[in-house]
Amino acid sequence: MIVPFTHLLVLASILFSLGLICVLVWRSNIIMLLIGIEIMLNAAMLLFVAGSNHWGMADGQVFALMIMAMTSAEVSLALAMVVYLHRRKRTVNVDEFSELKD
């Protein structure tokens, strides 16, 4: 069974919007922000695979693999930073970390 391309587009859009809303709204927890970013990346990855299937070219799948690799690296780094930040301020609220302003 072949899923139509439009369906995939719609699904990816919904996933991306959910991730974006998660990032924008759930500001009390930095981990939720990271999860939102993951969801957006997955939406993009899905779109790459769908495009690759639709046009019959392998490039999209290669990109999907690369995004996976990059994401795993990013998550490991980001979680380490979360642990560090939590140790510094005893909180994971995004808006507490505003030293960049100064």
Partner 1 sequence: MKTALELIILLPFLGAIVNILLGRALPRRMVELTACAVVWGSFIAALSAAVSYSTPTVVYAGSWLSSFNLSAPFSLYIDPLSLSLCLMITFVCGLIHLYSIGYMADDPCYVRFFALLNLFVGAMLVLVLAENLPLLYLGWEGVGFCSYALIGFWYKEAKNATAGRKAFIVTRIGDVGLAIAIVWMFQHFGTLSITQLNQSGLQAPTEVVTAMGFLLLLGAMGKSAQAPLMVWLPDAMAGPTPVSAQIHAATMVTAGVYLLMRMFPLIGHSPDVAAAIAVTGAFTAFYGATCALVERDLKRILAFSTISQIGYMTLAVGCGAITAATFHLIVHAFFKALLFLAAGCVITAMHHEQDIFRMGGLRRTLPATFWPFLAGALCLAGIPPTGGFFSKDGILAAAWEQGGMLYSTLYAVGLITAFLTAIYSFRMMFIVFGDRLSSKEEHHPAVTNVPAIMTFMLIPLAILGLIGGLLNIPANLGNGLLDSFLAALNAEGSHLKSITELALQGTASLVALGGVFTAWLRYGGKRRQECISRAEQEPSPLVGFLRAGWYFDRLYRFLFIRPFEWLSAILWERVDEGVIDDNLDRMATLLGRTGQLLGGLGNGRVSAYLLSMAAGAALIIAWFAWVMP
Give the footprint of partner 1 on this chain (CB under 8 A): 20, 23-24, 27, 33, 94-95, 97-102
Q: How far is the CB of 58 from partner 1 (least distance, A)?
A: 27
**Under DSSP, is residue 77 helix (H, G, I), strand (E, B) or coil?**
helix
Q: How many residues does the chain have?
A: 102
Cβ neighbour number for residue 46 with a 10 Å cutoff:
17
Joined together, the tokens standing for residue 67 give: 């995004």
* Alpha carbons 27 and 38: distance in angstroms, whole number: 16
Nearest by Cα to 18 from 3, 51, 40? 40
Of the pair 62, 83, the CB lying nearest partner 1 is at: 83
Of the pair 32, 61, the CB lying nearest partner 1 is at: 32
Q: How far is the CB of 44 from partner 1 (least distance, A)?
A: 13
Q: How far is the CB of 100 from partner 1 (least distance, A)?
A: 5
Of the pair 8, 96, the CB lying nearest partner 1 is at: 96
